[in-house]
Amino acid sequence: MITKIKSLGYFGIEPFLVDVEVDISKGLPAFNIVGLGDTAINESKERIRAGIRNSGYKSEPKKITVNLTPANVKKMGTHFDLPIAVGIMEGNKIINIKKNILENYLFMGEISLTGEIKRTQGIVNGAILAKEKGYKGIVIPYENLKEGSLIKRIEIIPVKNLKDTVKFLETGEYEKYKLPEEDESNKVEIDFYDVKGQEKAKRALEICAAGGHNLLMVGTPGSGKTMLAKRIMTILPPMSEEEKIEVTKLYSISGELDEKNPIINKRPFRSPHHTSSSVSIIGGGKNPSLGEISLADKGVLFLDEIVEFKKDVLEALREPLEEKKVSVTRASYKAVFPADLIFIGACNPCKCGYAFEPGDLCTCSSGEISRYMKKLSGPILDRIDLKIEIKRLSEDELIGNPPRETSSEIKKRVIKAREIQRKRFGYDKLNGSMTRNDIEKFCILNEECKNILKAAVKTLNLSARSFDRILKTARTISDLENSKNIEKIHILEALSYRMEDL
C-alpha cells in the first residue's frame, strides 16, 4: 500500500510541491529514500525510526521505500522528517487517519530522537504555497508558530511532538496555542540625538532614508561613519505587513530565524566583514542560497571599510544596485533573489586615514591617495547617489552642546516624503528607483535649474547615470521640503553630495 503525503521543496526562495510517497512491503527489512534528497534527508532514517519508537508506537521491521516527487529536482532540508514519519505510521497501520486530512494539509517538521517536532526552515514559504495551491492548512512545528502565523486566511496546525501529530491526524483536533510574545529585553536604543555635529552627514542619511538612495561616506578614522550608518535604521518608516512577510520569507528559507526572532518586523541592517567572499555577499553557490545583499532586502546593506573588500565582490554589486535584484546563473540553475535596499559604504580617504585633516597628520603621497581610492571603480561610484566627506569634530563641537534633532523628528519628515512619493507613483516606489521615463515626467526643471546642470555636466564630467541620480536626489530633497517643483536650491544641494574628486 502506498501512502501519499504533501510537503514542499524550495529552489532558491521559490517553493514547489513535493509528494512524499511511502510504500511498505514485505521482504528483508530496509529503509530507502529516493528522489534526489540531500544528505540531511538521507540521514533522516534513524531519526524517524527512533522518534516513532520513543513516542510509544511499535512497528514491525519491513521494507520501506520513500519517493520524493518530482524525482528530477534536488531536495534539501530536514522538514521532510514529519511527512515521511506520517507515511510510515499510516502504512504500518499504527494510526487510523481521518478522511481527507492528508489531501488537505501540507506537512513540515524535523523529528528528534525523542519524537519531538523541532524548528525547521522555510515555514513562511510553505504557508504561502499551501494558500496559493488551495490547501486547507499546513502542519508545522510549534517553535515555528509565530513565523507561520504571518500568513493569514490559512489554517496553521502547530505540533510539539509526534503524539500531537497523531491526535490531529486521527481526530482533526489540535491545541490552540497562543502566539509567543515578542522579547523586548535585548533592544538597544540608539538615536541621532547622540551624534554631535556632522550635520551634512545627518542630512545625507535623511535624504537616503526618504528616497531610497545609496550613500558613500569617506572620512577620517573616528569621525563617526559607522555610528551614523547604524542610526539610519532609527529614521526608516516601519515595515508594512507585506514587507514583513517578504523579508521573513527570506530569513526563514536561509535558516536565520530562531525562538528569540521568529519573524522579521524591523528593517534588516546587514554589515558583513570585508573578508567576505563574493558568494556570501551576492548569493549562489552549489545550491542557490541567499547572500547578504538579499538578506538586506527592504533594509540597509552597510559595507564598512569598503575599499578593503575584494575587487570581484565590489564589481558584483553593479547589477543588484541598479536592478534591485540578483540574478545568479550557474551551469545547473538560474535563480533570481530580491535586493531592494539602501546601500551605504564607508571608508578612509587614504591608507593612513588622515588626508582630510589639516597639518601634517597624513603621511600618504598624492599618488598613494589616488591609488587607494581607485579601488572603487567608476561604475560602482556611478551607482551611488550621494558621496560626502566626513572630518573629525573640532574642539568646540566636541565640548559644546548645540541643539540636536532626535531620530523621531527626522523620521516624521522621512515618512511624509515617502507618502508624497506613494501618491506620485500610485504604489510603494521611491525616487531612488525612478526610471528614465519617471525622471522625464516628475523631474521637470525651469531654465535656471537647466543652466546649473549644464555647467555641472561640463565641470564634473558627469555620466548619463550620474546626471539621472542628481535629478533623483533633487526630487527627494524637494519632497522633504514639501515642494511641488524642483527648485534651484534643491539642485545645488544635490550637486553638493557628488564629491567627484574621488
Regarding whether 150 and 205 lie in a shared domain, the answer is no
Give the list of residues 6+ apart from residue 491 with CB closer than 8 angstroms, or none.
Answer: 445, 449, 452, 453, 470, 474
Give the list of residues 6+ apart from residue 177 with CB closer than 8 angstroms, or none.
Answer: 142, 145, 158
CATH code of the domain containing 57: 3.30.230.10
pLDDT tens, residue by residue, 95-140: 999 999 999 999 999 999 999 999 999 999 999 999 999 999 999 9
Residue 210 has pLDDT above 50, yes or no: yes
Mean pLDDT of the region 72-100: 94
Mean pLDDT across the chain: 93
Regarding whether 257 and 389 lie in a shared domain, the answer is yes
Contact 11, 122 (CB under 8 A): no
Burial class (CB in 10 A: 0-12, 13-18, 19+), 440: exposed
> What nine digits make up the cell of 186?
535585548
Contact 140, 157 (CB under 8 A): yes
> Which one-letter amino acid corresponds to residue 149?
S
Residue 108 falls inside a structural domain: yes
d(CA 113, CA 47): 5
Kindly give the pairing relationship between strand 289-290 and strand 283-284.
antiparallel
Residue 155 has pLDDT above 90, yes or no: yes
CA atoms within 13 A on the CB side of 219: 25
Question: Of 124, 141, 171, which residue is a domain's last?
Answer: 171
> Which one-letter amino acid corresponds to residue 239?
M
Position 347 scores a pLDDT of: 95
- Beta-strand ranges (E) seen in 35-98 are 63-69
> What nine digits make up the cell of 97?
487517519
d(CA 272, CA 256): 15
pLDDT tens, residue by residue, 368-392: 998 998 889 989 999 999 999 999 8
CATH code of the domain containing 434: 3.40.50.300
- Higher-confidence residue of 280 and 184: namely 280
- Higher-confidence residue of 88 and 176: namely 88
Mean pLDDT of the region 35-45: 94
Kindly give the pairing relationship between strand 334-338 and strand 325-329.
antiparallel
Regarding whether 330 and 204 lie in a shared domain, the answer is yes
Packing angle, helices 447-460 and 488-495, rounded to 10: 10
DSSP state of 180: P
Mean pLDDT of the region 490-497: 96
Regarding whether 489 and 370 lie in a shared domain, the answer is yes
Percent of the chain with pLDDT over 90: 82
Residue 290 falls inside a structural domain: yes
Position 285 scores a pLDDT of: 86
Position 318 scores a pLDDT of: 93
pLDDT tens, residue by residue, 431-468: 999 999 999 999 999 999 999 999 999 888 888 999 99
To 5 degrees, how large is the angle CA 187–CA 189–CA 193?
A: 170
pLDDT tens, residue by residue, 47-65: 999 999 999 998 888 999 9
Regarding whether 483 and 345 lie in a shared domain, the answer is yes
Model confidence at 334, pLDDT cuts 50, 70, 90, reads confident
26 is in which domain, residue-wise? 2-171
Regarding whether 463 and 372 lie in a shared domain, the answer is yes
Residue 187 falls inside a structural domain: no
Residue 181 falls inside a structural domain: no
d(CA 262, CA 85): 25
d(CA 134, CA 123): 17
User: Closest Cα to residue 202, out of 232, 240, 238, 159?
Assistant: 232
> What nine digits make up the cell of 422?
506613494
Residue 136 falls inside a structural domain: yes
Residue 186 falls inside a structural domain: no
- Lowest-confidence segment of 30-39, 224-233, 280-289 by average pLDDT: 280-289
Regarding whether 255 and 149 lie in a shared domain, the answer is no
Q: What is the pTM for the complete model shown?
A: 0.91
Q: DSSP characters for 120-179?
A: -S-HHHHHHHHHHTT-SEEEEEGGGHHHHTTS-SSEEEEESBHHHHHHHHHHS----PPP
Residue 477 has pLDDT above 80, yes or no: yes
Residue 458 falls inside a structural domain: yes
User: Closest Cα to residue 207, out of 429, 472, 500?
Assistant: 472
Regarding whether 446 and 304 lie in a shared domain, the answer is yes
Regarding whether 218 and 150 lie in a shared domain, the answer is no
Contact 51, 162 (CB under 8 A): yes
Mean pLDDT of the region 333-344: 94
Contact 140, 158 (CB under 8 A): yes
Residue 193 has pLDDT above 80, yes or no: yes
Residue 186 has pLDDT above 70, yes or no: no
Residue 180 falls inside a structural domain: no
d(CA 446, CA 377): 33
Regarding whether 211 and 131 lie in a shared domain, the answer is no
Query: If phi over 0 gives left and psi between -120 and 50 gives alpha, with beta otherwise, what is residue 407?
Result: alpha
d(CA 377, CA 148): 43
Regarding whether 217 and 162 lie in a shared domain, the answer is no
Q: DSSP characters for 232-268?
A: GGGTSPPPPHHHHHHHHHHHHHTT---SS-SS--S--
Query: If phi over 0 gives left and psi between -120 and 50 gives alpha, with beta otherwise, what is residue 305?
Result: left
Please give the tally of structural domains in the chain.
2
Regarding whether 213 and 147 lie in a shared domain, the answer is no
Q: What length does the chain have?
A: 502
Residue 501 has pLDDT above 50, yes or no: no
pLDDT tens, residue by residue, 392-438: 888 888 888 888 999 999 999 999 999 999 999 999 999 999 999 99
